[in-house]
Amino acid sequence: MILWFAGVSFVFVWWVFRSPALDYRLVMLGAVLPVGEVFLGGPRVLHALLAPVALMGILMLATQKRRLVRRRWIGIPIGMMMHLVLDGIWARPKVFWWPFFGADFGSGGLPEFGHPIAVTLLFELIGLGCLVWAWRAFDFSNPKVRDRFVRTGQLSRSVSQPPTC
């Protein structure tokens, strides 16, 4: 499930922060990053609340006098937190609250791959719908707008209110 995490995170973070200067590419990257734990056999550190909180803390301390650097990289921990919300990992306290309930992550695969195929397809369609909405709402068909997003991850500064389609 890639579109579910990337698309919903992009749109949700826009609706919450309404910041055209945030790097939304990194928000989407952070939201998809924990899916890589599939190669570890199940949810690990990236599915624990500790990972995005620690990364956010390190980022805030390391960029105290560098606001632009902070604004660029803050998207990764925000996206990672969005992943935790969207995959429902809080239903597995051993993983979500790791290491506070012990060093073991428990057993079981990633929650994002534990759904029936119909539910997975529905989630992916919702994510695709969010990306299509964003394409239209933020005018990514305009080459200048699209190029700015590809280069910087930022939206047009003229977007101050949530756009409508």
State pLDDT tens for residues 6-57: 999 999 999 999 888 899 999 999 999 999 999 988 899 999 999 999 999 9
Tell me whether residue 84 is in a domain: yes
Tell me whether residue 92 is in a domain: yes
In this prediction, residue 41 carries a pLDDT of 86
What DSSP designation does 95 have? H
Tell me whether residue 161 is in a domain: no
Domain that holds residue 14: 3-152
Residue pair 35/63 in contact by the 8 Å Cβ criterion: no
Q: Which residues of 39-77 are buried (b: 16+ CB within 10 A; e: fewer)?
A: eeebbbebbbbebbeebbeebeeebeeeeeeeebbbbbb
The rounded distance, in Å, linking the Cα atoms of 14 and 23 is: 11
Which amino acid would we find at residue 132? V
| Element containing residue 56 per DSSP (H, E) | helix 50-62
Tell me whether residue 157 is in a domain: no
pLDDT above 70 covers a percentage of the chain that reads 95
Residue pair 24/155 in contact by the 8 Å Cβ criterion: yes
The rounded distance, in Å, linking the Cα atoms of 42 and 95 is: 10
Lowest mean pLDDT among 58-67, 107-116, 140-149: 107-116
Which amino acid would we find at residue 163? P
Query: In the predicted model, is pLDDT for residue 145 greater than 60?
Result: yes
DSSP secondary structure string for all residues of 63-81: TTT-HHHHHHHTHHHHHHH
Tell me whether residue 131 is in a domain: yes
Tell me whether residue 165 is in a domain: no
pLDDT above 90 covers a percentage of the chain that reads 68
**Residue predicted with more confidence, 161 or 22:** 22
What is the pLDDT confidence band of residue 142, given thresholds at 50, 70 and 90?
A: very high
What is the pLDDT confidence band of residue 110, given thresholds at 50, 70 and 90?
A: confident
Query: What total number of domains does the chain contain?
Result: 1
In this prediction, residue 162 carries a pLDDT of 57
Tell me whether residue 158 is in a domain: no
